[in-house]
Chains A and B, each alone.
Chain A
């Protein structure tokens, strides 16, 4: 157990509303990631962080922003949700001592109506 908690687990929202998903870890890992998973696309990287206030874009970052003001929390924000952002969102960490491995949170099922 990598001590990763995602919240909320499920969310239904309307098009145009802002949404923030939270990822919390308890083991002080430096590297944190946000992925989305959609049928036919596999897991795709949205944004990642390599330290407090250090973030970078992944392959599908449009429409998303992130913040990391504390080591333990990595927030993903949809500024104005669209139906195309309906997906399952996974947070992941990779331990410094095993950078090759990703450990995932339980996921957030987001539906944008």
Chain B
């Protein structure tokens, strides 16, 4: 089976940097995803990591360590619009399993 853990809630200040961690246990690994979901809206794709290392995309970066079963999403220069839930998801042999999400609140 697959198990994914991420913090339930985080608070950070506008303009700052925040790191959202995700640890996982999986039978078979074919990639790790991060999605952003604003309240009342659908999740939207942010990043995909299949190899170890850091993937940078603008203000957002995602890191993966397969040996440690660990990933993080790094958000730089936080903006108020970044207040949302961030979902970590892992693809095993056949399916994608989602974590319960981290609700990030950005405060002025």
Contact = CB atoms under 8 A, between A and B. Distances in A.
B95 A43 contact: no
A102 interface: yes
Contacts of A101: 33, 45, 48
Contacts of A106: 41-42
Residues of B contacting A: mostly:
strand
Which of B4, B42, B48, B97 has the most CB atoms of chain A within a 10 A radius of its CB?
A: B42
Contacts of B30: 100
Interface of chain A, helix or strand or loop or mixed? loop
The 8 closest A-B pairs by CB, nearest first: A104-B42, A43-B98, A42-B98, A42-B100, A100-B48, A101-B45, A104-B43, A100-B31
24 contacts: A40-B100, A42-B4, A42-B87, A42-B99, A43-B98, A45-B95, A45-B96, A48-B95, A58-B95, A59-B97, A90-B42, A90-B43, A100-B31, A100-B48, A100-B50, A100-B91, A101-B33, A102-B33, A102-B45, A102-B96, A103-B45, A104-B43, A106-B42, A107-B41
